[in-house]
Amino acid sequence: MSDTNDDYIYDEASGEWRPASELAAEKAKAAMVHDASGNVLADGDSVVLIKDLKVKGAGQTLKQGTVIRSIRLTENPEEIDCRHDTIKGLVLRTEFVRKR
């Protein structure tokens, strides 16, 4: 059983009162950002594109195998913020990258 001093929070999804620490652990696990292969991504990682991507507004295509360095995670776990030599303020979907 969990710690007796633990606060309980009503979980609307399950309809039960659950320990706050348990809900926080589940939320942290869900907030992890994964690449197309399932590897966990973190700020500062380098990734490789697994598909040619046409960049809207830039009029160019990033080719498969292009390395993107120093990514930054966003609030959306399906997107990463990054830079390329020719494109500033680039946002990529995690489904199109693989951790290097």
Distance CA 80, CA 35 (A): 10
Distance CA 53, CA 75 (A): 22
The pLDDT value given to residue 4 = 55
Per-residue pLDDT reduced to its tens digit, 72-99: 999 888 999 998 888 888 999 999 999 9
Per-residue pLDDT reduced to its tens digit, 30-74: 678 999 999 999 999 999 999 999 988 888 899 999 999 999 999
The residue written with tokens 């966990």 in the block is 40
Distance CA 48, CA 22 (A): 35
The pLDDT value given to residue 5 = 63
pTM of structure: 0.70
The pLDDT value given to residue 92 = 95
Q: Where are the domains of the chain?
A: 1-31, 33-99
Would you say domain 33-99 falls under CATH 3.30.930.10? no
